[in-house]
Structure 1
Amino acid sequence: MPFDHNDHYHPLLLRQVPPRRGTALDVGCGTGRFARRLARLGMDVDAIDPSEAVIAEARARSAHLDRTPDTRSPRFRHADVTETELPSGHYDFVSCLASLHHMPFDTVTTLRDALAPGGVLVILGCYPEKSALDLAWSVAAVPVNVAARLGAAASDRLRPSSASVPATGRGRVKAPVKQPTMPLPRIRREAALLLPGCRVRRLLFWRYLLVFHNNG
């Protein structure tokens, strides 16, 4: 069904964008939906993903933005952030949505170092169910998840048929999927060491939100 857990949290993530919107980097951008939302805020957006197929799809889906006044399409690049040198102290906002578990957790230091003074790093992460508390949150999420999926499916049926056609016309392209392995308590410990002062908040739909402000 057409309900996406990551898309559900886009408004929450966008509220973390600093007043000086400036430049942004979206890591593991997939087909570019969040990067396009950043671009519509007037930000100058770089977006990278290690999948060549999804980058091609992201470019196709974003071409129309260059025809929109005061909005420029994100610069999509096929790249693995663990093998790419990012400009130091450059970005006002760095986002990483449901992709950190595809790479070593200490990659957050690379993202941290790419932040300009006053910049914000936002991670929407995934974690596995390991503890009784994890299970309780999972149980709480199930009925909400079902209701959201049914609502999204009903909304999708009411849209014109052309609205759901992918930009490339080749069928829906999806980013590779990998199951998370690092439990949330360890994520909190690692984040506290590597990103001093960050906040980690558990969310529904098997996600967590990490926010770090570069006050240096």
Structure 2
Amino acid sequence: MPFDHNDHYHRSLLRTVPPGARRALDVGCGTGRFARALARRGLEVDAVDRDEAVLAAARGSAAPAAVHYRQSDLTELQLPPGHYDFISCLASLHHLPLDSLARLREALAPGGVLVVLGCYRETTPGDRLISLAAVPVNALCRLAVHLRERGAPPPAVRAPIAMPQTSLPDIRAYATRHLPGFRLRRLLFWRYLLVYRRPR
């Protein structure tokens, strides 16, 4: 049943794009759906993923000319300092070293926003309670999408999956040291949202 947890949050994430933003970086762009949403809002988007199969699917979509797909591992990519007005990581940070956050911070222009829709390793009773609450809601959402999209072909390609190894307290502790003024909140569907704005 094609209910995508990341896609579910796209609308909320788009609200974090700062006014007047012109350049964006989408890290771990997968099949490019969020990158295309950014481009439709008038941003020039560098969409990066290390998996060629999902990038081939992204390039095969009806993408705006403002999306530039690139196969690369972020750990090997040279990011221009102070270049991007908006940087997004959707379910991709747990595929990377946590220190990638500091590199992305440096690539933000003054006033730019970094947003992470991340996955985390459950370690606390609160984590497990939210996870338990998500199960019936997830089942209902999957059923609703299934009924709405009956007959539609399933996605030909899906992005690679990895189990997160970093806990939410560890992510919070790292952000406290490296992303002053960040906001972090736990979401339903086994995700958290981290938002950081670089000072002007």
> Which consecutive aligned stretches of 4+ in structure 1 deviate over 3 angstroms post-superposition?
163-166
C-alpha deviations, 1:25-49, integer Å up to 9, x for none? 0000000000000011111111000
Asked if the contact 1:10/1:34 (under 8 Å) is kept, the reply is yes
Match of 1:88, SS? coil
- Cα distance in 2, alignment partners of residues 176 and 73 from structure 1: 25
- Cα distance in 2, alignment partners of residues 198 and 133 from structure 1: 21
- Please list every run of 5 or more consecutive structure 1 residues that lacks an aligned counterpart in the other structure: 66-71, 167-171
Amino acid paired to 2:119:
C
The residue number in structure 2 matching 1:9 is 9
C-alpha deviations, 1:76-132, integer Å up to 9, x for none? 000111110011101110000000000100101111111111100000000122111
Asked if the contact 2:28/2:92 (under 8 Å) is kept, the reply is yes
The residue number in structure 2 matching 1:142 is 135
Q: Is 2:183 the counterpart of 1:199?
A: yes
Amino acid paired to 2:129:
A
The residue number in structure 2 matching 1:169 is none
The residue number in structure 1 matching 2:199 is 215
- Cα distance in 1, alignment partners of residues 128 and 198 from structure 2: 33
CA-based RMSD of the aligned residues comes to 1.3
Q: Is 2:138 the counterpart of 1:154?
A: no
Amino acid paired to 1:154:
L
TM-score, scaled to structure 2: 0.96
The residue number in structure 1 matching 2:78 is 85
Asked if the contact 1:6/1:97 (under 8 Å) is kept, the reply is yes
Q: Is 2:174 the counterpart of 1:190?
A: yes
Q: Is 2:36 the counterpart of 1:36?
A: yes
Shift of 1:73: 4.1
Shift of 1:62: 3.3
Asked if the contact 1:22/1:92 (under 8 Å) is kept, the reply is yes
Which is helix-richer, 1 or 2? 1
| Count of equivalent residues | 200
Amino acid paired to 2:159:
A
Amino acid paired to 2:149:
D
TM-score, scaled to structure 1: 0.89
